[in-house]
């Protein structure tokens, strides 16, 4: 077919309409945005490439659709990764393949049957083409309005001290201005909550998350919590760029516990200073990545009670007892960390794992170590009570 530019674009939109509607149904049924995002990306990439194809091909033999389809697939995969669209691989590939096959069937059979002069007109569809463009825009417009209507409300906290505790029980973005402080802490009991740019002062827990999914704590600061700086139970959270200053005593900086099976939590880019334990993951799955933990009095970073996850690129300094501990049947990948200046815990004489090791694996835990830098610790790697440590050759 020797397409005109308009014919290419109209044929593309005609072929995209059914996949777009299917994507809408899938997005509602799953529910998830990726089918609609993927369909939008496919249409966008296709229309953009059609501008190039128009210059490249005066006439396009049928077989050229195969390499062009593969090229478009490659471009879409790249963009899905770039835009971090959460499309599962095989369903997404199936969606693309089905859409491509449909496009071929329409181009060779459906549209010529629909419009007598489809070939003569170089793929143009007349008023049907204009209708398709309007319909496609309407579908995306409707989806956009729906998405906008589903966005959680954003509550802005002004600078200054606010009396807490603040209890969040529905989807919400709580965003503070520079210098916003909540005295008495924040309690999150709803899914999809975002807490950003807020400091808490005092309280038993600086920020408490209970029974909530997909909670984001971003750029928060916790000072003076009497038990845990950030206390997470039965939840999945993403904690990033936080700072927790814990007073001495039975305190912990970040404690994610009893969340096994709820998906991977993320603790990244945080600075935790003081307290008995810096970051604790207990019966949960978590990635602990690029944090700085210092001057803890028992363990700086600990994964315990059948936890699972990765501890990587963290800096641990001046801990007492143990630097990084993988304990009690947990499975830990411990890579590219720096642990320095760990000293023995004089308050627990006879407890060997607290003898100042940089890394500890205890009671049937499995720790896989790679490329860790251990400097100036009382001990390097301690393995106890049936635990296992493996290192690459």
The contact set with other proteins (CB under 8 A) reads: 1-4, 7, 58-59, 61-63, 65, 108-109, 112-113, 116-124
| Dist CA 345 CA 352 (whole Å) | 9
Using the minimum distance from each CB to other proteins, give the nearer residue, 117 or 347. 117
| Dist CA 73 CA 165 (whole Å) | 50
Report the nearest approach of other proteins to the CB of residue 73 (Å): 19
SS3 261: coil
Report the nearest approach of other proteins to the CB of residue 62 (Å): 3
Residue with tokens 């499975």: 331
111 and 31 Cβ atoms separated by less than 8 Å:
no
| Dist CA 162 CA 95 (whole Å) | 50
Using the minimum distance from each CB to other proteins, give the nearer residue, 119 or 376. 119
Using the minimum distance from each CB to other proteins, give the nearer residue, 25 or 113. 113
Report the nearest approach of other proteins to the CB of residue 57 (Å): 10
Using the minimum distance from each CB to other proteins, give the nearer residue, 49 or 223. 49
Helix (H) or strand (E) holding 11: helix 5-29
Report the nearest approach of other proteins to the CB of residue 125 (Å): 12
Q: What is the torsional sign of CA 196, 198, 199, 202?
A: negative
* Paired residues of 180 in beta bridges: 160
What are the backbone dihedrals phi and psi of residue 282, each rounded to the nearest 5 degrees, phi first?
Answer: -130, 115
| Dist CA 261 CA 149 (whole Å) | 31
Report the nearest approach of other proteins to the CB of residue 51 (Å): 15
Report the nearest approach of other proteins to the CB of residue 95 (Å): 24
Using the minimum distance from each CB to other proteins, give the nearer residue, 29 or 116. 116
Using the minimum distance from each CB to other proteins, give the nearer residue, 128 or 227. 128
278 and 304 Cβ atoms separated by less than 8 Å:
no
Report the nearest approach of other proteins to the CB of residue 112 (Å): 4
Tokens of 135: 């319909």
Q: Where are the alpha helices (DSSP H) in the chain?
A: 5-29, 34-56, 65-82, 89-105, 111-114, 127-150
Using the minimum distance from each CB to other proteins, give the nearer residue, 84 or 120. 120
């Amino acid at each position: 077919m020797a397409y005109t530019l308009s014919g290419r674009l109209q044929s593309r939109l005609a072929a995209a309409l059914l996949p777009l509607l299917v994507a809408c149904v899938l997005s509602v049924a799953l529910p998830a945005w990726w089918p609609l995002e993927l369909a939008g990306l496919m249409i966008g990439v296709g229309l953009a490439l059609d501008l190039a194809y128009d210059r490249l091909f005066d006439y396009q033999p049928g077989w050229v659709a195969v390499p062009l389809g593969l090229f478009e697939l490659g471009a879409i995969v790249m963009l899905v990764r770039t835009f971090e669209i959460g499309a599962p691989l095989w369903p997404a590939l199936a969606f693309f393949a089905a859409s491509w096959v449909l496009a071929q069937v329409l181009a060779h059979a459906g549209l010529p049957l629909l419009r007598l002069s489809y070939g003569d007109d170089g793929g143009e569809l007349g008023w049907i083409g204009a209708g398709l463009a309007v319909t496609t825009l309407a579908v995306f417009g409707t989806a956009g309005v729906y998405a906008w209507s589903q966005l959680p409300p954003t509550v802005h906290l002004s600078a200054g001290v606010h009396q807490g505790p603040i209890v969040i029980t529905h989807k919400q973005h709580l965003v503070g201005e520079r210098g916003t402080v909540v005295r008495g802490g924040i309690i999150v009991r709803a899914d999809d909550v975002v807490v950003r740019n807020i400091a808490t002062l005092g309280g038993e827990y600086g920020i408490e998350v209970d029974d909530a999914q997909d909670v984001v704590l971003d750029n928060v600061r916790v000072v003076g919590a009497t038990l845990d700086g950030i206390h997470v139970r039965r939840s999945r959270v993403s904690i990033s760029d936080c700072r927790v200053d814990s007073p001495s005593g039975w305190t912990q900086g970040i404690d994610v516990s009893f969340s096994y099976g709820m998906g991977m939590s993320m603790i990244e880019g945080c600075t935790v200073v003081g307290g008995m334990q810096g970051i604790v993951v207990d019966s949960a799955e978590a990635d602990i990545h690029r944090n700085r933990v210092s001057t803890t009095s028992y363990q700086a970073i600990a994964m315990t009670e059948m936890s699972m996850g990765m501890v990587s690129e963290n800096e641990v300094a001046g801990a007492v007892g143990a630097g990084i501990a993988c304990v009690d049947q947990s499975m830990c990948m411990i890579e590219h960390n720096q642990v320095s200046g760990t000293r023995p815990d004089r308050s627990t004489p006879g407890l060997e794992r607290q003898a100042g090791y940089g890394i500890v694996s205890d009671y049937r835990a499995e720790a896989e170590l790679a490329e860790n830098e251990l400097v100036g610790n009382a001990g390097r790697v301690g393995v106890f009570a049936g635990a296992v440590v493996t290192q690459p050759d």
